[in-house]
Chain A
Amino acid sequence: MNFIIIINYVFDLFFYPFYTIDPIYGLLAISFITTVIMLPIFKYTSNQESIRRTKAKIIGHFLEIRLFKDDMRIVFSAQGNILKYNLLYLKSMLRPLCFVVWPVMIIMIQTGMRYEYRPLRTGEVSIVKVKIENTKELTGKGSKGFLVSPEGLKIETPPLRVNGGGEEIYWRIKAEKEGVFDLRFQFSGIELKKRVVVSNALSKLAPKVSKEGFMGSFFYAGESLLDKDGCVEFFEVTYPQMKIMLFGWGFHWILIFFTLSLLFSFLLLRPFRVSI
C-alpha cells in the first residue's frame, strides 16, 4: 500500500505545474517521460541483436520478392519466410513487453485520473450513485439512507431507488460554486464520504470510491475507501468526459498520449541506441 501512496505523491508532484495550463502540455510531458522510461527498459530486457537480425531478415526477404518476382517458387518461399520472421519478431517482443507493461500501466492510470474526466463547472449537474448490497432498509420505502450536501452543492432530486428495495440509489446534484466538497451518505449511524471537485482547472479525479482492496487503492485519489465488510459497494459521482482540444477538434487523451509517445519513441531511438 505504501508503494501506491508513493506513486501517487510522485505523480501529484509531476502534474502539479500542469493543472492550470492547457492539458496538452501535461500530455506532452508525460508522453515524453513515458518514452524515456520505456526505451531503456525495452533495451535492457530485450535481445537487441536478435531483433535487429530478425528485422534485417524480413527486409531481406521483401527484397527477394522484388528481385525474383518472376520466379513463383522463390516468391512463395520468401513470403513463408517473412511470416516466419514476423512471428519470431513478435516472440522477441514478449519478454520486454512483460517488463514495460507495468510502468506504462501505472502511468496510464495516473494520467487517466487527471485527463479522463474534468471537474464539474459551476452550474453543471451530476448524478450521484450509491450501490448497496441488498439491504432493503436503505433502498425500500422509508429508506434510512440520506445524502447530505455541503454548501456549494445542491441536491436537486429526492433519491431514486431502483427496483423498490433493489441495489442502487441515485440523486442529481448541482454545483453552485467552485471548491472541493465532501458529499456524505449517512445510514444507521454510519457516514461515507465522496469528494466532488468543482473547478475550471485540471484536477485529479476519481469518480468512484469503492471498497478497500488492491484495485481500489490503485485508483486512490486521496479519498477514504469504503469498508470492505460494509454493505456499500461504491459511491460515485459522474464527471463530464474530458476532450483535449487540438486544432479545434476534441480528442480523447489516450489517442494523444499514444501518438505523442510513438512520435517521441521514433525520435529517441537513435540517441538511446534502441531497436524496436
Chain B
Amino acid sequence: MGEGIMPNFKLLQERGDFMELVTSMPPQSPVAWSNLITGMDPGGHGIFDFIAREPKTYLPYLSTSKTFDAKRTIKLGDWLIPFSRAETLLLRKGKAFWEILEAEGIPSTVIKIPANFPPVKAKSRTLSGMGTPDILGSYGTFSFYTTKEIENEQEITSGKVLNVKFLNDTTKTELMGPINPFKTTQSRVRVGVDIKRDPENHVALIRIGKNEILLNEGEWSDWVNVNFKLAPFQTVTGICRLFLVSVRPDFELYVSPINIDPFSPTVDISTPKSYASEVAKEVGLFYTQGMPEDTKALEQGYLHKDNFLELSGFIKEQRVKMLDMELRRFHSGLLFVYFSTTDPIQHMFWRNIDEHHPAYSFQEASKYSHVIRNTYKDMDRILGKAMNHIKDKTTIMVLSDHGFGSFRRYFNMNTWLKRNGYLNFIHEYKGESGEFFENVDFNRTKAYALGFNGIYINTKGREGTGIVLEGNEREMLLEEIIRKLEVERDPTNGYLIIKKAYKKEDIYSGKYRNDAPDLVIGYNRGYRASWETALGKVPNELLGDNMKEWSGTHLGDNSLVPGIILSNRKIRKEDPALYDIAPTILAEFGIKKEKEMVGNTIF
C-alpha cells in the first residue's frame, strides 16, 4: 500500500481504518477461520490444528470433518447393500455467525468460507470452502500419465502416477474414482481413458467416458464430466480438468483432482442444497474442492510454476464471478466471499522474495519474485470492483486470517523429544520411527508431537498407554519441556527456534479445552515443524533446510504472523482479533453476541 500499487486498499484505509488482526494460536487456517466463524477461541470450537488424534490409539485424523460409513448394510456376495446413509460430520463446535443472523431474519450469503464442510444446516446461502474433499474423499488427489519409465504405478503424496505405453500413437488407461461403497472389497471404481496423439503435431485426443477432449501441448481443458458406475442405477459424477504437459518425446498428462459436481453433489457442499447448482448455472462449473490450487503437483514437479499460476488465475477469476453474481443481487444483509489465492501463492513463491531462503536462486527469483506482489495488486482490482457496487452506508471489512513468513528450516519436534528423553523407541537399533509412531514405545514415552504446533503429554487415563499422572507430575513435565524448548538454538546459525511454548490452560477457554494439545508451540521466524512431525514420524535429524517449493509459512508464533483488517469504519478496539469478527458482524445488525463468544465488537 505504501508503494501505491494498491489504491483501493489505500482508499478503504482512508475512509476508515487499517490494522493488524490478531490471529489464532496456532495460526493455522482451520483454527483461525473457526475463531472467526464462532467468535470463540479453539477451546470453544474444538479445532486446534489441521490434525487431531484419537488419544486411545494415538492415530491422527483431519480435524474439521469425519465420515462415518453406513451403519446398516446387507452383504450379497461381494455386493454391500446399504440401508442407511454414510454420514459426514463437521467437527467444529459452536454456532456460526450466519446461523445467528438467520435466526434474526438477516439474509446472509457466505461463499467458500474455510472450516465449514459439510456446511452447517442453514437457510442462508453458503458454499463450503477449505476442507471440502474431492470425490475420492481426499483433500485433492491428481493423476499423472506418463510414458517415462516408472516402476509400476506410483502412489505419491496427493497423487497417482500411471505409466502409459503408446502403440501406433494410441493408448488406453484408467482414471481412478472413489472407493465403491457397494462392494465388500473396498475397491475403487475406474473409468476408461483412451488417448490418441498425432504422429507429428503436438496435439492429443483424450477420451474419458463419452467426452472427447482435443488439446494442444501446454493447454488446459475446460471442465470434463466423469461418471463412475458404482452399481446398476448408481453412478457418481465428478468434474476435472486436464493439462497436456507434453506430447512427445515423452507423453505427459495431468488430470486434476476430481471435484464434486455442483450439479449433482455426492455430499452436501452448499445450503440450500440447490445453491451449488444455482452458482454453477450462473458462473459455470467451478472448483468445489476445498483448496483447489494443486500445490502438491507443483511441489512434486508434475505441474510447472507457470501452469500452477494459470490454475491459480482460473480459481481467482471464478471467485470473482461468484462475487459479481452475489453483488448484483445484494441489497441488504451479509455477503462474505473468500479468496484463497494469496495463501497458496505465498506458500509456493515465498522463496523467490527471501534471499536468505536455502532454496533461493537468483535465476528463479528474477522470473517469479513479482508473483506475490502481482497477486496483491490483483486483489486490489477485485476490491475496487466490489467497492464500486457497494453503497456508502454498507460496512465493508477486508481481512486475512493470518500473515506470512519464510519457511527456511524445519524442526523435527518428535526427534527433539526423543533426544531429550521424553520419547522412546520399541527398537532402539532402528534409530527412527515411521509415520503414526510406528516404532514408538508409549509405555516409555512421556510426550509426543502430532500436527504442526502441538505436543501432547502421554497422560494416564486419557491416552491409550498413558504413563504421566495428571496434576503435579504433568505440571512439572510441562514446565521442564517449555524451559528447554524456549532456549533451543539452531546450531547452524545460533537462532532461537521456538519463540514461545504455550500451555493450553493459559491460552484457551471453553468446554473443549481439554481436547487441545497440552503444549502449543509458537515457532520463531524462519522455522516450522516438519511435515514428518505432523504425522507422528521420528526421523534421525533434528533440523534441516527446507528445499521445497512450499517455502512460505504461517505456522509459527501468532505474534509473528498477524492478519490484517481494513474497513470503511473506524476501528475502536486496540487489538482486534479474529474472534472479534463474529461479535462485530452481529453488532452491525443490532444483535447481541452469544455468551460463549470471547470476542467483542471492534467498532
Q: A-side interface residues toward B, CB under 8 Å?
A: 125, 127, 140-141, 156-166, 170-172, 238, 248
B214 partner residues in chain A, CB cutoff 8 A? 127, 157, 160, 170-172
Partner of A238, one of B169, B212, B216: B212
Asked if B170 and A161 sit within 8 Å, CB to CB, the answer is: no
Segment of B5-13, B79-87, B193-201, B447-455 in the binding face: B193-201
Partner of A141, one of B170, B200, B215: B200
Asked if B203 and A157 sit within 8 Å, CB to CB, the answer is: yes
CB closest chain-A residue, reference B263: A250
Q: Which of B204-235 contact A (CB under 8 A)?
A: 204-205, 212, 214-216, 222
Q: Please, how many angstroms separate the alpha-carbon atoms of A58 and B188 in the complex?
A: 50
Given A157-B214, A160-B205, A238-B212: A125 and B196 interface contact (C-beta under 8 Å)? no
Asked if B203 and A162 sit within 8 Å, CB to CB, the answer is: no
CB distance from A172 to the nearest CB of B (A): 4
Asked if B212 and A127 sit within 8 Å, CB to CB, the answer is: yes
Q: 6 A-B Cβ contacts within 8 A? A: A141-B199, A159-B198, A159-B201, A160-B204, A160-B205, A248-B274
B198 partner residues in chain A, CB cutoff 8 A? 158-161
CB closest chain-B residue, reference A250: B263
Interface residue? B168 (CB, 8 A) = yes
Given A125-B222, A141-B199, A158-B201: A163 and B169 interface contact (C-beta under 8 Å)? yes
Given A157-B203, A158-B198, A170-B205: A164 and B169 interface contact (C-beta under 8 Å)? yes
Q: Please, how many angstroms separate the alpha-carbon atoms of A129 and B216 in the complex?
A: 16
Asked if A161 and B199 sit within 8 Å, CB to CB, the answer is: yes
B200 partner residues in chain A, CB cutoff 8 A? 141, 161
Q: Please, how many angstroms separate the alpha-carbon atoms of A158 and B200 in the complex?
A: 10
CB distance from B477 to the nearest CB of A (A): 61
Q: Mark B39-64, 1 if CB is under 8 A from A, else 0.
A: 00000000000000000000000000
Asked if A163 and B216 sit within 8 Å, CB to CB, the answer is: no
Asked if A162 and B196 sit within 8 Å, CB to CB, the answer is: yes
Q: Please, how many angstroms separate the alpha-carbon atoms of A59 and B202 in the complex?
A: 69
Q: Please, how many angstroms separate the alpha-carbon atoms of A158 and B201 in the complex?
A: 7
CB distance from A160 to the nearest CB of B (A): 4
Partner of B170, one of A163, A165, A171: A163
Q: B-side interface residues toward A, CB under 8 Å?
A: 168-170, 196-205, 212, 214-216, 222, 274
Q: Please, how many angstroms separate the alpha-carbon atoms of A125 and B216 in the complex?
A: 13
Asked if B205 and A164 sit within 8 Å, CB to CB, the answer is: no
A125 partner residues in chain B, CB cutoff 8 A? 222
Count of chain A to chain B residue pairs whose CB atoms are closer than 8 Å in the complex: 50
A127 partner residues in chain B, CB cutoff 8 A? 205, 212, 214
Asked if A158 and B203 sit within 8 Å, CB to CB, the answer is: yes
A165 partner residues in chain B, CB cutoff 8 A? 199
Given A127-B212, A170-B214: A160 and B201 interface contact (C-beta under 8 Å)? yes
Given A127-B212, A170-B214, A238-B212: A162 and B169 interface contact (C-beta under 8 Å)? yes
B203 partner residues in chain A, CB cutoff 8 A? 157-160
A170 partner residues in chain B, CB cutoff 8 A? 205, 214
Asked if B168 and A164 sit within 8 Å, CB to CB, the answer is: yes
Q: Please, how many angstroms separate the alpha-carbon atoms of A141 and B201 in the complex?
A: 9
CB distance from B276 to the nearest CB of A (A): 13
CB closest chain-B residue, reference A163: B168
A157 partner residues in chain B, CB cutoff 8 A? 201, 203, 214-216
A172 partner residues in chain B, CB cutoff 8 A? 214
Q: Which of B168, B204, B205, B214 has the most CB of A within 10 A?
A: B214
B205 partner residues in chain A, CB cutoff 8 A? 127, 160, 162, 170
CB closest chain-A residue, reference B197: A160
CB distance from B262 to the nearest CB of A (A): 14
A171 partner residues in chain B, CB cutoff 8 A? 214
CB distance from A136 to the nearest CB of B (A): 11
CB closest chain-B residue, reference A164: B199
CB distance from A153 to the nearest CB of B (A): 15
B199 partner residues in chain A, CB cutoff 8 A? 140-141, 161, 164-165
Q: Please, how many angstroms separate the alpha-carbon atoms of A159 and B222 in the complex?
A: 20
CB distance from B257 to the nearest CB of A (A): 23
CB closest chain-A residue, reference B196: A162
CB distance from B195 to the nearest CB of A (A): 11
Q: Please, how many angstroms separate the alpha-carbon atoms of A127 and B196 in the complex?
A: 14
Q: Please, how many angstroms separate the alpha-carbon atoms of A166 and B197 in the complex?
A: 12
A141 partner residues in chain B, CB cutoff 8 A? 199-200
Q: Which of B169, B199, B202, B274 has the most CB of A within 10 A?
A: B199
Q: Please, how many angstroms separate the alpha-carbon atoms of A7 and B203 in the complex?
A: 42
7 shortest interchain CB distances as A-B pairs: A164-B199, A158-B201, A172-B214, A160-B198, A157-B203, A160-B203, A163-B168
Q: Which of B170, B196, B198 has the most CB of A within 10 A?
A: B198
CB distance from A26 to the nearest CB of B (A): 22
B197 partner residues in chain A, CB cutoff 8 A? 160
CB distance from A43 to the nearest CB of B (A): 38
CB distance from A95 to the nearest CB of B (A): 36
Partner of A162, one of B170, B222, B274: B170
A248 partner residues in chain B, CB cutoff 8 A? 274
Q: Please, how many angstroms separate the alpha-carbon atoms of A157 and B203 in the complex?
A: 7
CB closest chain-B residue, reference A139: B199
Q: Please, how many angstroms separate the alpha-carbon atoms of A256 and B214 in the complex?
A: 33
CB distance from A119 to the nearest CB of B (A): 18
Given A125-B222, A141-B200, A161-B198: A156 and B169 interface contact (C-beta under 8 Å)? no
A140 partner residues in chain B, CB cutoff 8 A? 199
A162 partner residues in chain B, CB cutoff 8 A? 169-170, 196, 205
A164 partner residues in chain B, CB cutoff 8 A? 168-169, 199
CB distance from A208 to the nearest CB of B (A): 14
Q: Please, how many angstroms separate the alpha-carbon atoms of A171 and B212 in the complex?
A: 11
CB closest chain-A residue, reference B214: A172
CB distance from B246 to the nearest CB of A (A): 15
B169 partner residues in chain A, CB cutoff 8 A? 162-164
A159 partner residues in chain B, CB cutoff 8 A? 198, 201, 203
B212 partner residues in chain A, CB cutoff 8 A? 127, 238
Q: Please, how many angstroms separate the alpha-carbon atoms of A125 and B214 in the complex?
A: 10
Q: Please, how many angstroms separate the alpha-carbon atoms of A141 and B198 in the complex?
A: 9
Q: Please, how many angstroms separate the alpha-carbon atoms of A226 and B506 in the complex?
A: 83
Q: Please, how many angstroms separate the alpha-carbon atoms of A249 and B313 in the complex?
A: 31
Q: Please, how many angstroms separate the alpha-carbon atoms of A95 and B215 in the complex?
A: 52
CB distance from B413 to the nearest CB of A (A): 51
A156 partner residues in chain B, CB cutoff 8 A? 216
